Homo-oligomer: A and B are copies of this chain.
Amino acid sequence: MKTGPDFAAIAALIGDPARANMLTALMSGKALTAGELATEAGVSAQTASSHLHKLQNAGLLRLQQQGRHRYFSLSGDEVAQTLERLMGLAAGLGHLRTRTGPRDQALRTARVCYNHLAGDMGVRMFATMRRRGCFDFGDSGMVLTDAGREFVAALGITQDRMPRSKAPMCRECLDWSARKSHLAGRLGRAMLTRFETLGWARRVPETRIVQFSSRGLAKFDAMFG
């Protein structure tokens, strides 16, 4: 019997191309059906089923059954951030044979990381908010200050309109393209959603790219320098 550290099993799961494709698709934060994930991974439904079972068994995926559809999604922030890190590492190591195409560029500028904004714009947003004193970094983690509450209120985000949950409000997430932090957690999710609602940005289907309109970009720049 092979014995190795626990994380080896997790890495092995992520390491299969078909499964990696599924996980990539789920990085958008959406829940996808088994069939959709099979297509996404380029394998048959049976094969996909087997993979999904393994991923779910390991705790990487969450399952919501709705009628004859089974919706899979990443089981949480932790998983998304680990994947993001792996992507960043791969991008960094591959500098020898990496060709940065236009699509890659768009990903670096603004993309969805699980459910919040990542990329240069995400990093800028977080840096500005941090500079304005929106966060307090105590022993118990990062919390939103009064100044922070005021800041996001200007965007139309108020505490009481956000879903209650035990998940942390604010969290840092390291950005692979910039190597700096951006905002994750429930607030990060709320802000990206707000940008979409306001029409500042939209998600490009089938990708993780977030496309800002020219008006939205202007608004964003005004707010986040």
Contact = CB atoms under 8 A, between A and B. Distances in A.
Interface of A: 2-21, 24, 42, 58-60, 75, 78-79, 81-83, 85-94, 96, 124, 127, 130-131, 137-139, 141, 172, 174, 179-181
Contacts of A3: 17, 42
B4 A21 contact: yes
Contacts of A10: 15, 86, 89-90, 93
Q: Which among A2, A3, A86 has the greatest number of chain B C-beta atoms within 10 A?
A: A86
Contacts of A90: 5-7, 9-10
7 contacts: A5-B20, A6-B90, A7-B83, A10-B15, A10-B90, A59-B96, A81-B85
A145 to B, nearest CB: 14
Contact of A82 (B2, B4, B78, B89): B89
Contacts of A2: 17
A20 B11 contact: yes
